[in-house]
Amino acid sequence: MDKELVMGIDVGGQSTKLGVVNAEGEIIAQTVISSLQEELIDYINELTKAIKGLIAETVREGKVKGIGIGAPNGNYYKGTVEYAPNLKWSYDAEGKPTVVDLAALVKSFTSLPVTVTNDANAAAMGEMAYGVARGMKNFIMITLGTGVGSGIVVNGEVVYGHDGFAGELGHTIAIRNGRQCNCGLKGCLETYCSAMGVRRTAQEQLAKHPDVKSPLRSIDPEKISSKDVFDAAETGDKIALEIFKTTGEILGRSLADFVKFSAPEAIVLFGGLAKAKKYFHDDLVAAMEENQLQIWKGRIKVLYSSLKDSDAAILGASALAW
């Protein structure tokens, strides 16, 4: 008899990662496509081909019986991606973000059952099953990627809320009337503590200190990445260190407020920016403690995903398909 396999798909703002997972929780094959297509039909075309390619690649290992997808603004109840500002193919002809029936589309072209959730919820499920949150019943996953996502686990279960959209902590207001966010609001946490946010902080810091030399000045300001800032920090660059310090402080203040909601055992940070933890962790924890109620001072762990790159999200999404 064929072994049972499932597929996990992690839709990010830049790229979409696909993996086939066996019953032991091992990713036995994976691939990646771009998420930057402007037209929905182009994205679905590439996605469908990648899915079929992976299924063909693993046919001797077993039978893929279902697909789980983690996507920004993914809705667990409806299988949709709704109003996702960082995905161009989710905009309608008039340029407005709209509702994409992702589960129905992928199911139509693959004939497999498809379940969708928020990408950060998927990462939380992966972290709970295979990562640093193993055995935890209450934690908050914060994904620091192109944007800032979140997955909230209460009593061992992901919180979906009334409508399936729970966990949009990246769009809680970090600074009232602050930076304009793609979502339409101002001052969202995402505008400070994502890859986009770090770039804007870099632009601001470079402009604010015109006399301070920095390797970041040799990079197109519109293309500064978290990796660039990390590399500059590694050389001792003051601007880069200041960028991470600010980022850590703003994130820490917001995390203090998130704790007041669900009293988690830990907050788990994940995503590209988390790789620079040595440059922001202390400032993050200091800001979090400074803004914390007495009952939680010194008691909430701040952890970093130990899973390789996108593995948590692929594994978590795949868990939906079992």
Selected binder of its own copies within 17, 179, 199, 253 (CB under 8 A):
253
Length of the chain: 322
CB of 289 to its own copies, least distance (A): 11
- 103 close to 70: Cβ distance less than 8 angstroms: no
CB of 193 to its own copies, least distance (A): 15
Q: Hey, what are 159's tokens? A: 């919180």
Stretch of 52-60, 62-70, 152-160, 204-212 lying at the interface with its own copies (CB under 8 A): 152-160
Number of residues that bind its own copies (CB under 8 A): 45
Q: Under the criterion CB under 8 A, does residue 12 sit at the interface with its own copies?
A: no
- For its own copies, the binding residue among 1, 93, 94, 162 (CB under 8 A) is 162
Applying CB under 8 A, among 204, 260, 278, 322 the residue interacting with its own copies is: 260
Compare residues 258 and 279 and give the one whose CB is closer to its own copies: 258
Closest approach of its own copies to the CB of residue 74, in Å: 11
Of positions 14, 26, 208, 261, contacts its own copies by CB under 8 A: 261
Q: Which two tokens stand for residue 277?
A: 């933890």
Which 69-98 positions form the footprint of its own copies (CB under 8 A)?
73, 82-83, 97
Taking the complex as a whole, the smallest distance from the CB of residue 305 to its own copies amounts, in Å, to 19
Piece of 30-38, 60-68, 166-174, 274-282 that binds its own copies (CB under 8 A): 166-174
Interface of this chain with its own copies, residues 175 to 214, rule: CB under 8 A:
175-176, 183-185
Contacts of 17 (CB under 8 A, 6+ apart): 9, 10, 30, 31, 32, 310, 313, 314
Angle, CA of 126, 131 and 137, to the nearest 5°: 75
Q: How far apart are CA 164 and CA 72, in angstroms?
A: 12
Q: Which is nearer to its own copies, 28 or 154 (CB)?
A: 154
Which residue of 152, 251, 268, 315 would you call a contact of its own copies, by CB under 8 A? 152
Q: Burial, 265: exposed, middle or buried (Cβ in 10 Å; 0-12, 13-18, 19+)?
A: middle
Could you say whether residue 293 binds its own copies (CB under 8 A)? yes
The strand order across the sheet containing 139-144 reads 157-158, 148-154, 139-144, 266-270, 301-304
User: What CA–CA distance (Å, rounded) separates 129 from 106?
Assistant: 25
> What is the pattern of x (binds its own copies, CB under 8 A) and - over residues 112-141?
-------------------------xx---
What's the rounded Cα separation, in Å, for the pair 250 and 190?
Answer: 10
Please report whether residue 156 would count as binding its own copies according to CB under 8 A. Answer: no
Residues near its own copies, by CB under 8 A: 73, 82-83, 97, 137-138, 152, 154-155, 157, 159-169, 171-173, 175-176, 183-185, 253, 256-258, 260-265, 291, 293-296, 299
